[in-house]
């Protein structure tokens, strides 16, 4: 059995590099006053995390005009070696409404789910934290 690992805090630049290195994460938001979580694929654009959703999804309904505070988490953990990393981004999620930006993101981010993903959501983290487990 592996020994417990040291947990190292990551600086924001490392967090962004790691977010760019994986295609999937989880978005956490509030639904009916309770936490909800959905796995989604993503891309990054500068200091934005971009996801796509469909009109009737819970997350698309919550970000609306004013946006909604969400957390986004992505990781790459090895359950055998007990090593890896995790990044958590907390900030405001808003619908992308500018037609050229929507079209660009739709070209860049193909949905994994077999249904029309007609909403593009941008998450702008205000808090970005990460850890790396080493040993």
Residue 45 in this model has a pLDDT that exceeds 70: yes
Could you read off the pLDDT of 71-84 as tens digits, one per residue? 999 999 999 889 99
Residue 125 in this model has a pLDDT that exceeds 70: yes
- Cα-based angle 36, 19, 95 (whole degrees, multiple of 5): 55
DSSP secondary structure, 8-20, as one string: EEPPHHHHHHHHH
Which of 55-59, 65-69, 100-104 bottoms out in mean pLDDT, i.e. has the lowest? 55-59
User: Which residue segments constitute the domains of the chain, with CATH numbers given?
Assistant: 6-134 (2.30.110.10)
Residue 41 in this model has a pLDDT that exceeds 90: yes
pTM for this one? 0.90
pLDDT at 20: 97
Evaluated on CA atoms 120, 55, 23, 89, the torsion sign reads positive
| Stretch 17-46: mean pLDDT | 93
């Amino acid at each position: 059995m592996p020994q417990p690992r040291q947990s190292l805090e990551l600086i924001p630049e490392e967090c962004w590099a790691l977010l760019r290195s994986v295609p999937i994460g989880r978005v956490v938001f509030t639904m009916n006053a309770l936490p909800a979580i959905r796995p989604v694929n993503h891309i990054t654009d500068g200091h934005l995390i971009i996801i796509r959703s469909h009109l009737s999804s819970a997350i698309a309904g919550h970000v609306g005009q004013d946006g909604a505070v969400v957390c986004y988490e992505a990781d790459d953990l090895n359950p055998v070696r007990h090593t890896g990393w995790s990044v958590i981004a907390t900030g405001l999620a808003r619908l992308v409404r500018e037609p050229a930006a929507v079209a660009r993101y739709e070209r860049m981010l193909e949905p994994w789910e077999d249904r029309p993903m007609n909403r593009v959501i941008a998450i702008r983290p205000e808090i970005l934290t990460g850890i790396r487990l080493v040993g």
